[in-house]
Amino acid sequence: MTADKDPTELITWKGGTLEAPLPPVLVSCGTMDAPNVLTVAWTGIVNTDPPMTYISVRPERFSFSILRDTGEFVINLPTEELARAVDFCGVRSGRNTDKIAACGLSLLPGETVRTPLVAESPVHLECTITQELPLGSHHMFLARINAVRVDKRYIDESGRLCMEKCRLISYIHGAYHATGRPLGKFGFSVQKKKKRPRS
Ligand SMILES: Cc1cc2nc3c(=O)[nH]c(=O)nc-3n(C[C@H](O)[C@H](O)[C@H](O)COP(=O)(O)O)c2cc1C
């Protein structure tokens, strides 16, 4: 198929980080006694079995040495209600601000990690760091997802997690967005249409 666009209609920029949408997750680190939360958009799933993720963090972040020292973190998925906290925890440092108190967040103990969870989030990934990769501006912490902790309110009678009800947010080109207009389920493009009974 020929494109209905020709290359002169594109402009070329130097390589950059323009991938979107991204989840602006609340990463908790430290312990119940000395916790901190920072916002991370450089995150994603990198393996299914074992389940693995990463967060890329600048060495100058207050959380950086905490992550290194404890070898653990928790990814707390952000909801619309948490948007302000997501932004605040991404522009203020735990070095001089108790972000958890300032945002009115509460903590729950981890089950497989000493790092606490942010209770207001509906889904938490408890992670143990397996590798640190210095990449340049950021160090990538590869991590195994030991456990997924889910708020029971979002589980239906059949045991399904109704994630669409969590009102999760995304981060697109410097702005937070609501999600939630479904366009089709996995595999919908190849699904056979159900025949309508003849009337
Ligand atoms: C939407 C958003 C995404 C961010 N993503 C990252 C990231 O992926 N890695 C990073 O090192 N900092 C990221 N930051 C910046 C840190 O969250 C910010 O510097 C924070 O103050 C660090 O907290 P700390 O000093 O308490 O560790 C992000 C900030 C925002 C607002």
Query: pLDDT of 19-77, one tens digit each?
Result: 999 999 999 999 999 999 999 999 999 999 999 999 999 999 999 999 999 999 999 99
Within a 10 A sphere around the Cβ of 106, how many other Cβ atoms? 12
Q: Which residues line ligand 1 (CB under 6 A)?
A: 24, 36, 38-42, 56-58, 61-63, 87, 90-95, 138, 171
How many whole angstroms from 49 Cα to the centroid of ligand 1? 28
| Closest ligand 1 atom, residue 29 Cα | 27
Which residue is closest in CA terms to ligand 1's atom 5?
40
| Closest ligand 1 atom, residue 66 Cα | 27
What pTM was computed for the model?
0.96
Q: For the chain, how big is the Rg over CA atoms in Å?
A: 20
Task: Reduce the DSSP state of residue 69 to 3 states and report it.
Answer: helix
- How far apart, in whole angstroms, are the C-alpha atoms of residue 129 and residue 109? 18
pLDDT of residue 193: 80
Choose between 8 and 196: higher pLDDT: 8
* The two three-digit tokens of residue 14, written as one number: 């130097």
Q: Residue 36's closest CA among 124, 119, 113, 95?
A: 95
Task: Reduce the DSSP state of residue 86 to 3 states and report it.
Answer: helix
Q: Would you state the torsion angle of the CA atoms of residues 28, 92, 59, 43, taken in this order, to the nearest 10 degrees?
A: 50
β-bridge partners, 133: 140
The owner of tokens 């389940």 is 51
Which residue is closest in CA terms to ligand 1's atom 1?
24
- 79 phi/psi in degrees, rounded to 5: -105, 170
Contacts of 106 (CB under 8 A, 6+ apart): 100, 118, 119, 120
- How far apart, in whole angstroms, are the C-alpha atoms of residue 195 and residue 193? 6
Which residue is closest in CA terms to ligand 1's atom 30?
90
Q: Name the residue of 17, 25, 36, 39 to mutate for ligand 1: max ligand atoms within 8 A of Cβ.
A: 39
pLDDT of residue 103: 98
pLDDT of residue 1: 82
pLDDT of residue 190: 97
Q: Are strands 117-118 and 107-108 parallel, antiparallel or unpaired?
A: antiparallel
Residue 195 has pLDDT above 90, yes or no: no
How many whole angstroms from 197 Cα to the centroid of ligand 1? 55
Cβ–Cβ < 8 Å for 25, 40: yes
- Domains detected in the chain: 21-178 (2.30.110.10)
β-bridge partners, 39: 26
Query: pLDDT of 130-161, one tens digit each?
Result: 999 999 999 999 999 999 999 999 999 999 99
| One-letter amino acid of 62 | F
Residue 112 has pLDDT above 80, yes or no: yes
Mean pLDDT (the chain) is 97
| Closest ligand 1 atom, residue 174 Cα | 1
pLDDT of residue 109: 98
pLDDT of residue 198: 74
Q: Any alpha helices (H) in 82-191, and if so which ranges?
A: 83-91, 99-102
